[in-house]
Amino acid sequence: MKCFGFKNSNIYVFGKGIEKTSLCIENGKIKKIGNNIKDNAFIELDEKYIVLPGFVDKHTHGANSADFMNPSKEKIKLILSAISKEGTTSCLATTMTQSIDNINLSLQTIASYIEEKPLGVEILGVHLEGPFISPKHAGAQPIKYIIPCDIKTFEELNKEARNHIKQVTLAVEEDGLELVKYLKAKGIVVSLGHTDCTYEEAIEAVNEGATSISHMFNAMRGLHHRNAGTVGAGLLSDELKCELICDLIHVSKPVVQLLYENKGKDGICLITDAMEAKWMPDGDYQLGGQKVIVKNGVARLEDGTLAGSTLKMNEAIHNFMQATGVSLLDAVDLATINPARCLHIEDKKGSIEVGKDADFVIVDKDLNVYMTICRGEIVYSKL
Ligand code: FE
């Protein structure tokens, strides 16, 4: 159903904070923000609700029993309809380390879905997580399919994806520097992750164009007092924006605080890294063809390795506020404008400003989600 706009409602207007105002939507975009809109077709919200920009999750593998690695159009719809309930309005479909043939199948299906331009949660592109990673920090990525970085292989993958790959997680120490330069030249985000790179190697990658770190602290060389490691580079380099899985399981509360104190509000992107068990009960699932057991919402391989999360985006923001004491709006920026800037799409996503896409989530002060609107269409509502 179409949403024409809001009137006399609490709206987080970018750069101004929460204002009691009105907003008009036309052709899926924000046409006007101001007080003098009286149209009866517009939604007037109760005092307890706040209109926020829709959340942008640039690292998600699946939800609702479906995985982007085993996709069909129906499976993709299952994922997107589930994540709309947590306020996500756009995402990067994230692949796993698998055989090149299997990754290609996933890329083809995701590309076809994107090109049909369906309504609903928007897939902004693909986040290619693996196969160019380190076997030393595989996490839940199957080691047998890991390969060194290689431009030619990447070109073949991106051809199957019809140029929809927008971010690549890679281990730069695995012959990766040339690939970093190549991706930078193509405008594709280079994210250091599943990597054993030293501080020096990470900074070299930054100098060649790396701008992101995938799930900071998880699956990377940690900080040692004589070797600052990937983590040290992530903490110190302003160029590197750090993805964070803020479920308080992958990273503990004091470490979330440590990250915030180092990176500030502009240096962190909240992600879910969620797998197919999100929005599903505990039980047996899979990730990258490996068995995953989900107990109390925590997903692990049989050997105990964390295997993605069941984190919802609204919970991630709430957890971040609890851990750091930052305000609601500052925490929301970490899930909206920061990922939009990281992906170079801040001209259309990430905040409520005239001219941007009409992507909204309506929440209360505790981040419970009541309605989600993607490009002017109501895709979820319990109001
Ligand atoms: Fe990962």
Q: What is the pLDDT of residues 54-89, one digit of tens each?
A: 999 999 999 999 999 998 999 999 999 999 999 999
Dmax (CA) for the chain in angstroms is 65
Q: Provide CB contacts within 8 A for 361, sequence distance 6+.
A: 51, 52, 53, 54, 55, 87, 89, 314, 369, 371, 372, 373
pLDDT at 365 over 90: yes
Q: Find the mean pLDDT for residues 306-333.
A: 98
Strand partners, 274: 309
Six token digits for residue 300: 């692990």
Task: Give me ligand 1 centre to Cα 194, in Å.
Answer: 7
For 15-66, the pLDDT digits (tens) are: 999 999 999 999 999 999 998 787 889 999 999 999 999 999 999 999 999 9
pTM of model > 0.95: yes
Task: Give me ligand 1 centre to Cα 64, in Å.
Answer: 19
The pLDDT of residue 37 is: 80
User: pLDDT-based confidence at 278, cuts 50/70/90?
Assistant: very high
Task: Give me ligand 1 centre to Cα 192, in Å.
Answer: 10
Six token digits for residue 141: 């990525």
Chain position carrying tokens 């049989």: 302
Give the Cα separation of 344 and 94 in Å (integer).
18
Task: Give me ligand 1 centre to Cα 129, in Å.
Answer: 7
Six token digits for residue 96: 């796993």
pLDDT at 163 over 90: yes
User: pLDDT-based confidence at 292, cuts 50/70/90?
Assistant: very high
For 96-106, the pLDDT digits (tens) are: 999 999 999 99
13 SS3 class? strand
User: pLDDT-based confidence at 291, cuts 50/70/90?
Assistant: very high
Name the residue type at position 340.
A
The pLDDT of residue 308 is: 95
Q: Find the mean pLDDT for residues 266-285.
A: 98
Give the Cα separation of 217 and 196 in Å (integer).
12
Six token digits for residue 284: 């047996």
To the nearest whole percent, how much of the chain has pLDDT over 90? 97
For 115-152, the pLDDT digits (tens) are: 999 999 999 999 999 999 999 999 999 999 999 999 99
234 SS3 class? helix
The pLDDT of residue 288 is: 81
Give the Cα separation of 212 and 339 in Å (integer).
10
Task: Give me ligand 1 centre to Cα 139, in Å.
Answer: 7
Q: 219: alpha, beta or left, given left = phi > 0 and alpha = psi -120 to 50?
A: left
Chain position carrying tokens 């809109």: 37
Q: Find the mean pLDDT for residues 1-10.
A: 94
Query: Residue 192 is inside which H or E element, if any?
Result: strand 189-192
The pLDDT of residue 40 is: 85
Phi, psi of 39 (to 5 degrees): -50, 135
The pLDDT of residue 134 is: 98
Task: Give me ligand 1 centre to Cα 305, in Å.
Answer: 12
Six token digits for residue 196: 């054993």
Mean pLDDT of the chain: 97
Show which residues are catalytic: 273
The pLDDT of residue 35 is: 84
Task: Give me ligand 1 centre to Cα 215, in Å.
Answer: 7
Give the Cα separation of 342 and 356 in Å (integer).
17
